[in-house]
Amino acid sequence: MNLFKNIAGTFLIGAVMASSCSKSTAPNTEVSEEKVEISKEKLDFLGITDPNHLSAASKRALAWPDSLTNEWFGEFSVHDLKGDLAYEEGVVRRDPSALLYIDGKYHVYYSKSIGKTQGFGGDVENEKVFPWDRCDIWHATSTDGWTWKEEGLSVARGEKGTFDDRSVFTPEVMEYEGKYYLCYQTIKSPYNVRTKNQVGLAYADSPYGPWEKLEEPILSPADNGVWKGTEQNRFLVEKKGDFDSHKVHDPCIIPYKGKFYLYYKGEQMGEAITFGGRQIRHGVAIADNPLGPYVKSKYNPISNSGHEICVFKYKDGIMSLITTDGPEKGTVQYANDGINFNIQAVIPGAPHAMGLNRSLNSDEPFSIFGWGLTHRYVSYDYQHIRRFHGKRKTSHTAKNEQTSKKTKATR
């Protein structure tokens, strides 16, 4: 079939995609054909000169939307901090929240624990099984973003028997109408490999607190997975259940379109390894009030990949940085409705557990990544918080290569 007239013309995406997967398509399955005008310039850009012989890669490239640009492509560097957030032997400081900038000071909240990690297999009731085990949430401030002062404890673990008695960790902060909200992961003791976790929330009238904790979690794992047997093996399941049947992690609340969108990472019972690594996906739960109740979206999961949640407002929608795990890791994705995300660009080398500086947020691509906080593993036992810098990359030139400013800006 000749797909083009005079090389360029109307391209039938549905027909081409159907022909490339016809062997696995059910006999009576209908495939819709989307007609897309392909210009000679696009064909030349993609290096396609023979439209009668298209590889699967060429078909995918022709189906890419024109919105894919280099606006979100960039590079990062990471630097040590000074003051109380500099590395301290024997202390874990990790998972920095987004930064608040209030009255000339930056504020950050983070997980803090003491001592080495023993792991599973020993006395899990009294030992420490992960670096984020036996954590509390602490607060620090800075006037320049480099030298930090630890202000003290913000949210502590609950009393014995409560849903957060073992650890409170991986916080995210939101300011809304003069009030402050901290959401975070929680664990109830004992901490075994099959232990499920939840999401808690605290609120205050000041970034310094005092913080009032809700007595019940605002988000829990799905309850439709079934473990196989009774041994502590998280990979043995009779039924895996929803994408978040084991754990709900890395919560972040964004005020959006008159509601509150709680984005989170889901871990599934019997978690698999796929061609992109761990089978991690993201979800969202929505509320009319920042204190809840939060209702999970029927469209969950809203990502095929990811790890720590990194979401922010951009123009009329929400951007999400997808890192670490899954076939779409290392991408930035956009949803104009906060749910249906599409890839905008690849961002290689993005730091882990990014605490965004939301005061930088604007409609200019990549500006949100100007600088913020991240964490670094000095060892498996100990981590500390550092500062990252991001820079949009718009050109690739050889040493001493002469290019015009116009060419350099658009390559």
pTM of the full predicted structure? Answer: 0.88
In a domain, 327, yes or no: yes
pLDDT of residue 406: 45
- 180/34 same-domain check: no
pLDDT of residue 133: 97
- 26/150 same-domain check: no
pLDDT of residue 11: 55
- 194/313 same-domain check: yes
pLDDT of residue 9: 55
Query: Is residue 141's pLDDT more than 90?
Result: yes
- 51/101 same-domain check: no
In a domain, 225, yes or no: yes
Question: Among 48-52, 294-298, 376-380, which is the least confidently predicted range?
Answer: 48-52
In a domain, 292, yes or no: yes
- 355 vs 59, more confident: 355
In a domain, 398, yes or no: no
- 141/249 same-domain check: yes
When pLDDT is averaged across residues 208-223 and rounded to a whole number, the result is 98
- 43/93 same-domain check: no
Query: Is residue 329's pLDDT more than 70?
Result: yes
Q: What percentage of residues in the chain have a pLDDT greater than 70?
A: 88
Structure tokens at 150: 């630890």
Query: What CA dihedral angle connects 407, 321, 313 and 65, to 10 degrees?
Result: 50
Q: What is the CATH number of the domain that holds 117?
A: 2.115.10.20
* Domain coverage including residue 58: 9-63
- 14/156 same-domain check: no
- 163/244 same-domain check: yes
Q: Which residues on adjacent β-strands are paired with residue 24? A: none
In a domain, 126, yes or no: yes
- 249/340 same-domain check: yes
pLDDT of residue 404: 58
CA distance 142 to 163: 33
When pLDDT is averaged across residues 384-410 and rounded to a whole number, the result is 76
In a domain, 41, yes or no: yes
Q: Which residues on adjacent β-strands are paired with residue 114? A: 91
Helix H, strand E, coil C: the string for the chain is CCCCCCCCEEEEHHHHHHHHCHHHCCCCCCCCCCEEEECHHHHHHHCCCCCCCCCHHHHHHHHCCCCCCCCCCEEEEEEECEECCCCCCCEEEECCCCEEEECCEEEEEEEEEECCCCCCCCCCCCCCCCCCCCCEEEEEEECCCCEEEEEEEEECCCCCCCCCCCEEEEEEEEEECCEEEEEEEEECCCCCCCCCCEEEEEEECCCCCCCEECCCCCECCCCCCEECCCCCCCCCEEECCCCCCCEEEEEEEEEECCEEEEEEEEECCCCCEECCEECCEEEEEEECCCCCCCEECCCCCCCCCCCCCCEEEECCEEEEEECCCCCCCCEEEEECCCCCCEEEEECCCCCCCCEEEHHHCCCCCCHHHCEEEEEEECCCCCEEEEEEEEEECCCCCCCCCCCCHHHHHHC
Q: pLDDT class for 20, splitting at 50, 70, 90?
A: very low
- 195/249 same-domain check: yes
When pLDDT is averaged across residues 172-187 and rounded to a whole number, the result is 97
- 127/175 same-domain check: yes
Q: Is 176 left (phi over 0), alpha (psi -120 to 50) or beta?
A: beta
User: pLDDT tens digits for 149-166?
Assistant: 999 999 999 999 999 999
pLDDT of residue 55: 93
In a domain, 1, yes or no: no
- 23/111 same-domain check: no
pLDDT of residue 1: 42
* Mean pLDDT (the chain, rounded): 89
In a domain, 322, yes or no: yes
Query: What is the domain count for the chain?
Result: 2
Structure tokens at 279: 């089978």
Query: Is residue 234's pLDDT more than 70?
Result: yes
* Cβ atoms of residues 224 and 241 within 8 Å: yes
Question: Among 194-203, 259-268, 295-304, 357-366, which is the least confidently predicted range?
Answer: 357-366
Q: At what angle do helices 56-63 and 13-20 cross, to 10 degrees?
A: 150
